[in-house]
Chain A
Amino acid sequence: MIYEKTIRVLYVDMKEQQVLIVEREDLKQYMGGVGVASKLLEETMRPELSPLDPAQPIVFAIGALSTIYPVITKAVAMFISPLTGELGETYAGGRLALSMFSSGFDAIVIVNKADKPTYLAISPNDVKFRDARPLWGSEKDNVGRIIRDEERQYAGKRSIIRIGRGGENQVSYACVSVDRYRHFGRMGLGAVFGSKHLKAISIVGSREIPIRDFGSYFKVYREIYETCTKSDVMAKYHDTGTPINVAPLNAAGALPTRNLQQGSFEHADKISGETFSQEYLVRKVACSGCPVGCIHIGQFRREFAAHGHEYETISVGYDYELIFALGSFLGIGDPKDILELIEDVELAGLDAMSTGVALGWATEALKTGLVSLDDTIVPLTFGSSQEYRAAVGYIANGVNAFYKNLGLGVKHASKVYGGEDFAMQVAGNEMAGYHTGYGSLIGAMVGARHSHLCNGGYSLDQGLPIGKDVNPDDMAEALLKEELERCMLNSLTICLFSRKVYDRQTILAAFAGIGQEMTDDDLTAVARRIYAVKLRIKKRMGFDLQDIRLPKRFFETPSMHGQLDEAVAHEILMKYREKIAALDTATAGETE
């Protein structure tokens, strides 16, 4: 992408086994990343068909500054989400962005379904459709190992992304594993892979692009690098990592516990970031091109045979969201149990957050008699990690009608069995681990993909004074401002952990360092353009903010800012709706 006048798109038809490479000058106005991916999704989506219809596209894209500067490590995937039935968007680090960059493809669009399980082997001059029947049913580590071996004739920087049983069985919140420790986690991309008989993608390349004015570039690079490695801004991500959140959220009463029956957990100390670091952390790793290294790897020992003292050591990545979803949310207070559950969810190929939240609802549904032991097979009770481990497998394999329904998301399951008031989802997406206030709740409602990452609402809550009333218009304005800004940041595919490193001034300097003169107004215009495309996609899928129904529990369990009021939440929502209605979404300055 750097120095090019076009975006290079690889189109792949799984059924016909055909590919097409198109150089698109018109896509440059969307910068890259989420901008380009949104536009490609808008062009190829089929709103009249179900999300898992093979004709629906999967779009991948890297950003305008991918791999050029530190911490610009992400690739975006966009699709129609089987979980929410509308715009699907998810990000992953690892080596994928570097491999796409090295292969020479800025974006990839995949449509239709292969006749048999297939994996794609993409290299700069070739796309192979390989028979994946022997891999169907295999878990991610085996698949990665086998594909790496099979494709070794293509040298270069390689990334392998693949699905597990959850994706094969089209569980609505199945994930796609990226390399060893990263994921396209949320919104069910794994199920969309499954619907296309697409088991995995290997992408490799060795393209290198010399920097034209190395002196100017390196000056900017060094400054960013120094901020990342020597200041306080990123140190906390490397140090304890996001698990550091357990303690403050718990103290604030914002740590969702036992299906959000509580906002604090009596065993929070045992599952805190500090405890994980002291007792389970064995190393930290990084996405390619990141000098921070925030990926915390925990290790535990497990007996694998009943006799003879046979043990294995298991390493898994952990972060705050996993600890919340598979820990406090399920009443589990033993870090080893959480690590074991993380491992099971990984191998099943599911999104950990949705899985934990779904199991939280199932636990209460069983307790309140909405479902029976015949449905759940095992007696799910808060804290019962072994039962939850079994249930993860039942979801991934869809072993009975109950688990099939649970695999379609907690919104769907609660419609079938009841318990919608404690099915903790927002617009179909299972909640994130922040019961901080209106910012996080309304932020998830209005966020284009209903994620806490759309607008960082939890962060807005944190900045609000405790005990003061929220101003609905200010809150709606702040959420919209941040949503727009993140459209721009994600068109660059910056890791959002580093968003304080990449303020506007730094972004403009980064562009200037590679000879691209951009202005602050240009960045604002790109943000608006991208958001307009996203809003159009959502509208075409029939989405309207006023149709969202929230579970009552959000308003019953006090948040960090006390008990939330439904009327205030509604007012913020309507303010936001007015604000986006006033945006020019028809063109937003787009050119043909």
Chain B
Amino acid sequence: MTITVETGSWAARWLDQRVILLTDMPADATAADAILAAGIPQDEAGVIVRNGTLIPKDHRLSHGDVIKIHPIIIGG
């Protein structure tokens, strides 16, 4: 299935583009799988949003989903 992953400038350490189209994801792919396939280290991905709703990393995605990945919340 196809998943679109949107990121921001924070992901430039690993990615050349902010929007990644994943065209070959398995039907049971989760958000974590999409993060991995996009090339973002799992530890660096924090808040994940799909259609304005927060989803956990183990959330099963559907064909055509667009997910926005935000970085982890950092601090002391």
Interface of A toward B, CB cutoff 8 Å: 232, 235-237, 239-240, 242, 244-245, 247-249, 251-253, 273-274, 277, 320, 434, 436, 452-453, 456, 458-459, 462, 465-467, 495-497, 499, 560
Whether B73 and A459, one on each chain, are in contact in the complex, defined by CB atoms closer than 8 angstroms, is: yes
State in angstroms the CA–CA spacing of A459 and B72 once bound together: 9
State in angstroms the CA–CA spacing of A436 and B47 once bound together: 11
Whether A274 and B13, one on each chain, are in contact in the complex, defined by CB atoms closer than 8 angstroms, is: no
Whether A240 and B47, one on each chain, are in contact in the complex, defined by CB atoms closer than 8 angstroms, is: no
Q: Which residues of A contact B10 (CB under 8 A)?
A: 236, 239-240, 244, 273-274
State in angstroms the CA–CA spacing of A245 and B9 once bound together: 13
State in angstroms the CA–CA spacing of A56 and B28 once bound together: 63
Would A496 and B76 be within 8 Å (CB), given that A247-B8, A248-B71, A465-B56 are in contact?
A: yes
Would A465 and B58 be within 8 Å (CB), given that A232-B44, A247-B8 are in contact?
A: yes
From the candidates B8, B41, B54, B55, name the one contacting A232 in the complex (CB within 8 A): B41
Contact pattern, B 27-54, Cβ under 8 Å of A = 1, otherwise 0: 0000000000000010110110100001
Would A462 and B76 be within 8 Å (CB), given that A247-B8, A251-B47, A251-B68 are in contact?
A: no
From the candidates A235, A273, A458, A467, name the one contacting B75 in the complex (CB within 8 A): A458
Q: Which residues of B contact A467 (CB under 8 A)?
A: 56
- Nearest CB of chain A from residue B3's CB, rounded to whole Å: 18
- Nearest CB of chain B from residue A55's CB, rounded to whole Å: 32
Closest 3 CB pairs of A and B: A496-B76, A248-B70, A248-B47
Whether B70 and A456, one on each chain, are in contact in the complex, defined by CB atoms closer than 8 angstroms, is: no
Whether A462 and B73, one on each chain, are in contact in the complex, defined by CB atoms closer than 8 angstroms, is: yes
Whether A235 and B13, one on each chain, are in contact in the complex, defined by CB atoms closer than 8 angstroms, is: yes
State in angstroms the CA–CA spacing of A466 and B70 once bound together: 15
Determine the main DSSP class of A at the interface with B: helix
Whether A458 and B73, one on each chain, are in contact in the complex, defined by CB atoms closer than 8 angstroms, is: yes
Q: Which residues of B contact A242 (CB under 8 A)?
A: 74-75
Q: Which residues of B contact A251 (CB under 8 A)?
A: 47, 49, 54, 68, 70
A233 to B, closest residue via Cβ: B43
From the candidates B43, B49, B74, B76, name the one contacting A244 in the complex (CB within 8 A): B74
A sample of 16 cross-chain residue pairs with beta-carbon separation below 8 angstroms, ordered by A number, consists of A245-B73, A247-B8, A248-B71, A249-B73, A251-B49, A251-B68, A252-B54, A273-B10, A274-B10, A320-B75, A434-B73, A436-B73, A452-B75, A462-B46, A465-B56, A499-B76
State in angstroms the CA–CA spacing of A251 and B9 once bound together: 16
Q: Which residues of A contact B46 (CB under 8 A)?
A: 248, 462
Q: Which residues of B contact A452 (CB under 8 A)?
A: 75-76
Whether A466 and B54, one on each chain, are in contact in the complex, defined by CB atoms closer than 8 angstroms, is: yes
Would A560 and B54 be within 8 Å (CB), given that A247-B70, A248-B46, A452-B75 are in contact?
A: yes
From the candidates B8, B68, B74, B75, name the one contacting A274 in the complex (CB within 8 A): B8
- Best-buried of B43, B47, B49, B73 by chain A (most CB within 10 Å): B73
Q: Please give 15 more A-B residue pairs, beta carbons under 8 A apart, in addition to A239-B13, A466-B54.
A: A235-B13, A242-B74, A244-B10, A245-B73, A245-B75, A251-B68, A252-B70, A436-B73, A462-B46, A462-B72, A465-B56, A467-B56, A497-B75, A560-B47, A560-B54
Whether B68 and A244, one on each chain, are in contact in the complex, defined by CB atoms closer than 8 angstroms, is: no
Contact pattern, B 2-25, Cβ under 8 Å of A = 1, otherwise 0: 000000111001000000000000
Q: Which residues of A contact B43 (CB under 8 A)?
A: 232
- Best-buried of B47, B55, B68 by chain A (most CB within 10 Å): B47
State in angstroms the CA–CA spacing of A466 and B55 once bound together: 7
- Best-buried of A232, A240, A247, A462 by chain B (most CB within 10 Å): A247
Q: Which residues of A contact B55 (CB under 8 A)?
A: 466
